[in-house]
Amino acid sequence: MADSGTVMLLCYGNPARQDDGLGVAFGDLVASRSLPGLTLEVDYQLRIEQALDLVQHQYAVFVDAAVRGREPFSFRPLRPGDWAGLGNHRIEPEALLGVAQDCFGAAPEAYALGIRGYLFDGFGETLSAGARDNLGAALAFMLPVLAARSFSRAAAAQGFAAAEGGQGWKTGSK
């Protein structure tokens, strides 16, 4: 039986910077489906206001492009991090979770989906062929995970234990 906890899916990146738009493209694909208990946020970058939004959710999944690392994607757990010196131009998922926990008492079970991209240095709203393939693989992986709320099992299948860090995770927009 699937867990019925609510999920906040935060998809971000800059679609005008080639593969940096992978998070936004993922969010657009998920938006076309009717998934119960899902709050979808699609934006250029994470915003401090989203820390308060996390209070209302049992789970949070951050989706962005990965500059390097696993192909076609990685899925790993996150834990709240230090948010001292937090700026307004680049917020990491861990810092946003730290604000949610320290300021609002929110502690959603959180994960990062990093979709491997290849082209980040130019301008253009088209994903590379490899990034499109990786996007399809990430969507096929994530839809059943969202439906069953089987996040920890999915992260373990990717080789990540609870709150283990991942290499090549990129957040924010370039």
Q: Is residue 162 part of a domain?
A: no
Assigned domain for 124 exists:
yes
- Per-residue pLDDT for 167 more than 50? no
Query: Assign residue 69 a region: left if phi > 0, alpha if psi is -120 to 50, beta otherwise?
Result: left
Which residue did the predictor score with more confidence, 85 or 173?
Answer: 85
State which amino acid sits at residue 91: I
Q: Per the domain annotation, does 172 fall within a domain? A: no
Residue 136's contacts (CB-CB under 8 Å, 6 or more residues apart) are none
- What pLDDT, on the 0 to 100 scale, is given for residue 87? 63
Look at residue 167 and tell me if it is in a domain.
no
What would the mean pLDDT of 27-42 be, rounded to a whole number? 94
Task: Establish if 138 belongs to a structural domain.
Answer: yes
Residue 63: inside a domain, yes or no?
Answer: yes
pLDDT above 90: residue 31: yes
Which is it for strands 73-78 and 109-116: parallel, antiparallel or unpaired? antiparallel
The pLDDT confidence band at residue 168, using thresholds 50, 70 and 90, is: very low
The total of structural domains in the chain comes to: 1
30: Cα within 13 Å, side-chain hemisphere: 33
State which residues form the domain around 76.
Answer: 7-157
As a whole number, mean pLDDT of residues 118-143 equals: 94
Helices vs strands, H then E, count in the chain: 5, 5
- CATH code: domain of residue 116: 3.40.50.1450
Tens digits of residue pLDDT in 62-115: 999 999 888 999 999 999 988 766 665 678 999 999 999 999 998 899 999 999
Instruction: Give pLDDT, residue 173.
Output: 33
Residue 39 belongs to a domain: yes
Q: What is the pLDDT of residue 69?
A: 86
29 lies in some domain: yes
Q: In the structure encoding, which two tokens stand for residue 14, read together?
A: 């800059």
First to last CA, the chain: 41
